[in-house]
Amino acid sequence: MKAEYIAIGTELLIGHVVNTNAAYLSEELNAIGISTYYHVTVGDNHERIIDSLKLAASRSDIIICTGGLGPTSDDITHEVIADFAEAPLLENAQQKEIIKAKFLKTKRAIPENNFKQAMIPENSIIIPNPVGTAVGIILDYHYKVSETEIKSVKIITFPGVPCEMEAMFQATVKDYLADYLREQETVGAIVSEKIKFINIGESRMAELIGDEIFAGANPSVAPYATLGECYVRITSKAASEAEAYELMQPVKQQIEEKMQDYIYAYGDLTVPELLAAKLKENSLSIAFAESCTGGLLSKAMTDLPGASAYTKLNLVTYSNEAKVEILGVEEQSLDEFGAVSEEVAKEMALGLEKISKADINVSITGIAGPDGGSEDKPVGTIFIAINYREQLVSQQLDWYARTLSRAQVRELACLKTLYEVLKLLNSSNP
């Protein structure tokens, strides 16, 4: 079962919008056992979209399109698909009423062009949009390959707005495609599990796990990497869900044995989520004094629901003056060791405890770049300190960051710092 993804939108081609939908859809499709073979990006042009659909239909079983479902004149995806499939474009009365109702809730006048979004190719299944007004469709397209062979291809559309596409995929399309795959491949169940690793690079992860495991077809093991962490997704197919999970276990156990020093989570849990759960479980509060990360640590933890249960005080003490006046860092320490030093990180954490009264006080100071580095302290030099239960631990975060952007250095520093706090709490058994 091969899928092809077509991103429609001139804004993607000229670089005004970064296409995050491609990664999301490919990962989600892979999780249910559908391989994405091609990614195509095409502008808002009738002929070029037709050409892309023709090519996709010739080599793929499922075509997923995002974009071009809005109310403006350049939103032509459904119009083009109707022409391509030779299916009339018809107004859907139910969808028109849904659009009216959504505008009434916002007490806004309904622009007439929004009703364009109720024009649907005939014989399509509508994919409801719980977030916006642009619905998607599922259309079975049939064409003659030869005098004796007819090929059937599923065409699925979503809006280009990521939050809308993701909501529609999860609510409707994910289960639909899983059921369709089972029908086509006579597979009773497809299950997958993600194992997440930290403090190891993708190449080292692949080396430890080994080519033999990655070469397996059922279960299949796919590696992925993001900034600061990586993971594998194990997918297996069998007659039943229980059998599929049983089939997965030997491979999962092999990976766990080889990677036990690096596993930090299963599924989609993140470091901030795990730390938040640990803090809530043990009724602990936390405070941050940030320099180089400029509030990213605080944001990562307060972005989560229920953050008030553990948030005590968050400070951005970027300047030396703030470090001295608010946190009580000694001027002598700044002069002797510099703002980016283990000594100053420790004093920041100790000073933070005095004013926050939190159970855990975390400080961070460093050089995010692109300038400000030196031979002794290059860009990416980061020091953290954690003050917890009369323990004061400090560390220089150890990675080579000279090739990273400022944003990447800050993001990686945030991830590593929160993970060090989590490790300390896990080891302390609070």
* Radius of gyration (C-alpha) of the chain in whole angstroms: 26
Q: What is the pLDDT of residue 429?
A: 66
CA-to-CA separations, 145 to 50, 59, 150, 151, 270, in angstroms, rounded: 18, 12, 6, 6, 47
For the chain, domains (ranges, CATH) are 2-185 (3.40.980.10), 189-266 (3.30.70.2860), 271-428 (3.90.950.20)
Q: Which long-range contacts (CB under 8 A, 24 or more apart) does 184-188 make?
A: 184/1, 184/61, 185/1, 185/33, 185/237, 187/33, 187/237, 187/238, 187/239, 188/238, 188/239, 188/240, 188/241, 188/243, 188/244
Q: What is the pLDDT of residue 184?
A: 80
Q: Which long-range contacts (CB under 8 A, 24 or more apart) does 350-356 make?
A: 350/387, 350/392, 351/289, 351/326, 351/327, 352/287, 352/288, 352/289, 352/313, 352/315, 352/327, 352/387, 353/287, 353/387, 354/328, 355/313, 355/326, 355/327, 356/287, 356/312, 356/313
Sign, CA torsion 316/322/323/328: negative
Contact 351, 327 (CB under 8 A): yes
pLDDT in tens, the chain (430 residues): 899 999 999 999 999 999 999 999 998 998 888 889 999 999 999 999 999 999 999 999 999 999 999 999 999 999 999 999 999 999 999 999 988 888 887 777 878 888 899 999 999 999 999 988 899 999 999 998 888 889 999 999 999 999 999 999 999 999 999 889 888 866 677 888 999 999 998 999 999 999 999 999 899 998 988 889 999 999 888 888 899 999 999 999 999 999 999 999 999 999 999 999 999 999 999 999 999 999 999 999 999 999 999 999 999 999 999 999 999 999 999 999 999 999 999 999 999 999 999 999 999 999 998 888 888 898 899 999 999 988 999 999 866 556 789 999 999 999 999 999 999 999 986 5
> Residue 63's Cα: distance from chain center in Å?
22
Residues shown for the chain: 430
Contact 10, 163 (CB under 8 A): no
Q: CB-based burial of residue 384 (10 Å sphere; 0-12 exposed, 13-18 middle, 19+ buried)?
A: buried
Among 231, 234, 270, which Cα is nearest to 414's?
270
| Composition of the chain by helix, strand, coil, percent to 5 | 45, 25, 30
Q: What is the pLDDT of residue 383?
A: 97
Cα distance between residue 185 and residue 183, in whole Å: 6
Q: What is the pLDDT of residue 342?
A: 97
Q: Residues 398-430, buried b or exposed e (16+ Cβ, 10 A)? A: eeebeebebebbbbbbbbbbbbbbbebbeeeeb
